[in-house]
Structure 1
Amino acid sequence: MTTLFDRYRFGDLALPNRVVMAPMTRVRAAAGGLATPSMATYYAQRATAGLIVTEGVQPSLVGQSNPGTPGLHTDEQVDSWRQVTEAVHANGGRIFAQLMHGGRVSHPDTTGFQPVGPSAVAAVGDVFTPTGPKPAPVPRALDTAEVPEHARSYGDAARRAVDAGFDGVELHGANGYLISQFLSSNANLRTDGYGGPVRNRIRFAVEAVAATVDAVGAARTGIRLSPAAGFWGVQDADVPELYTALLTELARLEVAYVHLEATAEEELLVDLRRAWPGTLVVNPVLPMGPKQAGRAEADHWLGLGADLISFGRAFIANPDLVERLRNALPIAPVDEATYYQGGDAGYLTYPAYQYAS
């Protein structure tokens, strides 16, 4: 029987266990989207994970969603990330950068630009800005000729990520951000080749992944998806058909892995497991939902065919999460008030488990 602590290999990476640190926004970057020494310490503390996937990293300035997030679109940003990748590798870890274009989930106060999206339809809810939450603005609908440029931005950022020392990249195709917006039936109202039927709505995702594979190779490329999630008001019609079609195209590109969030009924997710022939990472509970993933949820999904299991909130408060899971040690609670406040409190201040003497 497969366990969380079995070794696993994909591409050129040999993972010592099947525990993945999921991407989580922490908004600790310096001005200019630069990674910091604190970020290097944060990720290095968690290097016992089989694989770390970083917080979302914007591939362009217009793609930035939240203030305080890091980028991979300037030389200075590349230089700043090397301290992070070197620290993780020095501690024996492996690390992918998650490439996240926010699309319509952004604000001019954050980037200086009107957000862009597949259509001029605003996200549902307030977005973060430097002066606090504000209603999501109506994005500018991308012209057909502009769309390939935004697909290529993932490949350009992936090339920079590898230059910065990352082992690979994960495209954020989930949770209502740009790729998810193109997949959507209500955020994407286009009538050109990027909208309408399923074959058109998956086109942007496929082109973004293909650009990344061309830039850094399939073995360094993964993608995260959230079928039927509903985040930021994004809705998907024809969910089984949509995601089966997308996985079919991703299989042709031979990407390293697909990272599925448990945002749909289990039966559908199991069907998608059957449709996907490659490595599958599963985030086994609803992100930001009432329940936090633990060993039981991980074992359940390993039994259903997942190859790797990702943990989000548990990794914030437990830098030694792998050891805690292995030895059935208590999982420390997380202080939600420190998620986005900046600084080292609630970031570098969670200790490893203290054994009684």
Structure 2
Amino acid sequence: MSQLFDPVRVGRHTLQNRLVMAPMTRSRAQFDGTPGELAARYYAQRAGVGLIVTEGTQPSDDGQGYLSTPGIYTDAHVAGWKRTTDAVHAKGGHIFIQLMHAGRMSHPDNTPHHRPGVAPSAIAPGTGMFTVKGMQDIPVPRALSTEEVRQSVADFAFAARRAVEAGADGVEIHGANAYLIQQFLAPSANTRTDEYGGAIAHRARFAIEVASAIADAIGADRTAIRLSPGTTLWGIDEGVEGPDLYRYLVAELDKLGLAYLHIAHQGDEPLLADIRKRWRGKLILNRPGRPREQVGADIAAGAADLEAYGSMVLANPDFVERIKANAPMNEPRREGFFGGTEKFYTDYPTLAEAEEA
């Protein structure tokens, strides 16, 4: 357990401990994608973890999928995020902005331009999405042209530069959870016949090009990526080649010297072990639903260098102190996960506040 609280070098930064706040969509940005005033308080409250990874943040108009998610490509976005990064740094924390292009996981009613989502191929995910008009089916996306795929790579790099301009310590590329990058990886979502579809190396090309472009733009030591091998969300099926695709992808990404690899683990332990062997840099492991008593187990076993936690950090702004003291945790309130005000966002009490109450 003591290893959890040891400083660790990640990219160009020395983090105060090995606990990470996982990215979690909170849907409280203004309609234009500018983070709201409460975002600075929310993230600063949780600056005791070694690293904060923000909610998914779109790199372009086409990248938005859900209502009220933030962006990082306009001057207003930069100014909004600057309030947040300044607040986190004032508390001694580090913060990476997660760049998330939703791809086909989008509805026209949720985006600035009200166009259908874009994707590797014109294949709908077969699910619904909450919009201002309530739940609606996600329409068939428009397939990106080869030139538009390359423009999307450039959009990611531009957003990364803007994130650094906003004071972020780096960016994490969202290559997981059925969004655009994983859509390119999965044959169920990618039936392209150009250099971005077909063989493993072609389906992995987009992820590698995005990572390389961002590393060139802001430095590899400020660039990271999150993957979720084996995810079957929203029509994603990586097929029998899935494990070999990730062995190839991780080995290629490793050549770039990125700050870290963040794995949202789906339970394939042999594949996780192979990824660990192929990745020479820092590895963050997120096991969704990991129980409190298992905190620190992957670091102690050598399976990861850092561990990421979601809802426990969401509900406990003093998460690190509670782990150190073996203190009880606040329970996360699902009704406040997405949208709303400060309720179940910035009003979860610390131990000290709970004792006073």
Q: Tell me which interval the TM-score lies in, with the shorter structure as reference length.
A: over 0.9
Asked if residue 245 in structure 1 is aligned to residue 243 in structure 2, the reply is no
1:276-287 map, 5 Å: 276-285=279-288
Contact 2:19–2:51 under 8 Å retained in 1: yes
**C-alpha displacement of 1:110:** 1.0
The one-letter amino acid of 2:308's match is: S
1:297-312 map, 5 Å: 297-312=295-310
1:229-268 map, 5 Å: 229-237=231-239, 238-268=241-271
Aligned match of 1:201 in 200, 203, 215?
A: 203
Which stretch of structure 1 is more off in the superposition, 305-314 or 265-274? Answer: 265-274
Partner Cα separation in structure 2 for residue 297 and residue 200 of structure 1: 37
The one-letter amino acid of 2:238's match is: D
Contact 1:282–1:309 under 8 Å retained in 2: yes
Helix, strand or coil: the match of 2:255?
Answer: helix
**C-alpha displacement of 1:353:** 1.2
Name the structure 1 match of 2:321.
323
Name the structure 1 match of 2:27.
27
**C-alpha displacement of 1:295:** 4.4
**C-alpha displacement of 1:269:** 1.1
Name the structure 2 match of 1:288.
none
Partner Cα separation in structure 1 for residue 291 and residue 80 of structure 2: 32
Q: Where has structure 1 moved over 3 Å in runs of 4 or more?
A: 354-357
Contact 2:4–2:299 under 8 Å retained in 1: no
Partner Cα separation in structure 2 for residue 153 and residue 193 of structure 1: 19
Name the structure 1 match of 2:131.
129
Contact 2:73–2:159 under 8 Å retained in 1: yes
Which stretch of structure 1 is more off in the superposition, 111-120 or 232-241? Answer: 232-241
Superposition TM-score, scaled by structure 2 size? 0.95
Name the structure 2 match of 1:84.
84
Asked if residue 102 in structure 1 is aligned to residue 105 in structure 2, the reply is no
The one-letter amino acid of 1:332's match is: N
Distance 1:2 1:202, change over 3 A: farther
Aligned match of 1:119 in 115, 118, 121?
A: 121
Distance 1:356 1:63, change over 3 A: closer
Asked if residue 336 in structure 1 is aligned to residue 334 in structure 2, the reply is yes
Contact 2:22–2:309 under 8 Å retained in 1: yes
Partner Cα separation in structure 2 for residue 327 and residue 236 of structure 1: 42
What is the aligned residue count?
352
Name the structure 1 match of 2:93.
93
Contact 1:284–1:301 under 8 Å retained in 2: no
Partner Cα separation in structure 2 for residue 116 and residue 75 of structure 1: 24
1:137-216 map, 5 Å: 137-216=139-218
Partner Cα separation in structure 1 for residue 51 and residue 61 of structure 2: 27
Helix, strand or coil: the match of 2:56?
Answer: strand
Which stretch of structure 1 is more off in the superposition, 71-80 or 174-183? Answer: 71-80
Contact 2:173–2:225 under 8 Å retained in 1: yes
The one-letter amino acid of 1:177's match is: Y
Aligned match of 2:345 in 334, 342, 347?
A: 347
Distance 1:254 1:300, change over 3 A: closer
Contact 1:39–1:84 under 8 Å retained in 2: yes
Superposition TM-score, scaled by structure 1 size? 0.95
**C-alpha displacement of 1:2:** 6.6
Aligned alpha-carbon RMSD (Å): 1.4
Unaligned runs of 5+ in 2: none
Asked if residue 36 in structure 1 is aligned to residue 36 in structure 2, the reply is yes
Distance 1:293 1:125, change over 3 A: farther
Partner Cα separation in structure 1 for residue 251 and residue 344 of structure 2: 41
**C-alpha displacement of 1:266:** 1.8
Which stretch of structure 1 is more off in the superposition, 265-274 or 58-67? Answer: 265-274
1:63-82 map, 5 Å: 63-82=63-82
Distance 1:30 1:196, change over 3 A: same
Deviations 1:59-96 (A, max 9, x none): 00111011111101111111111110000000110000
Deviations 1:312-335 (A, max 9, x none): 010111000011111111121111
Name the structure 1 match of 2:228.
226
Contact 1:152–1:211 under 8 Å retained in 2: yes
The one-letter amino acid of 1:58's match is: Q
Distance 1:293 1:158, change over 3 A: farther
The one-letter amino acid of 1:184's match is: A
The one-letter amino acid of 1:148's match is: R
Helix, strand or coil: the match of 1:282?
Answer: strand
Helix, strand or coil: the match of 2:307?
Answer: strand
**C-alpha displacement of 1:119:** 0.3
